[in-house]
Amino acid sequence: VDPWLDEATRNVLDLCTGNGSLAVLAAMAYPDVHVTGADISPDALAVARINVDRHGLQERIELVVSDGLAACPGPWDVILCNPPYVNADSMATLPAEFRAEPSIALAGGADGMDFIRALLRDAPARLKPHGLLVLEIGNEREHFEAAFPALETVWLATSAGEDQVLLLTHESLLALPLSQAPSP
């Protein structure tokens, strides 16, 4: 992500923060940014609070309860998001250790894109003009590309491969063809 950031990057949102690990990593990696960690689950945010406190980042990380972007008006320089993206067929065959997780943290609907459709609809209005959306989609690249075939996407190399995390610019989100725009 570093090549995409500049000295103007100040406000980062970690949406679907869960235990807050991405929020903590962002605050540690970029000492000049303020990070907001948002999640629909108060229980997840309680765990995130423990992690934020453990790393002494209370002054730089704010935690908020939010259903998607509802309580996160921005504008944001960067939105990081590890949303629920597991498709229905995969949910049915998850190993036991994953089924122990709350389904709200994993289940993304029939094709895994339910939350992502809403996010792509709402994100342009919440990002600054130079803003970025960094999205983890696990093994759902095929479903993502089927849902958004004309969306200009940058796939980021990670230790898990080159098809699990993607980057979308504000500009690419604004150019999302109306025929692909997620319905409200």
CA-CA distances (angstroms) from residue 46 to 51, 64, 78, 131? 9, 10, 23, 28
pLDDT digits (tens, 9 = 90+) for 25-53: 999 999 999 999 999 999 999 999 999 99
Which residue ranges of the chain lie beneath pLDDT 70? 87, 91, 107, 178-184
Q: What is the CATH number of domain 10-174?
A: 3.40.50.150
Per-residue pLDDT, 180: 55
- Helix ranges restricted to H, 36-130: 42-54, 88-92, 96-99, 114-126
Nearest-angstrom CA–CA distance, 38 and 48: 10
Q: In which element (H, E) is residue 173 found?
A: helix 170-174
Per-residue pLDDT, 139: 85
The domain segmentation of the chain, as residue ranges, is 10-174
Per-residue pLDDT, 3: 73
**Residue 139 CB partners (closer than 8 Å, separation 6+):** 90, 163, 164
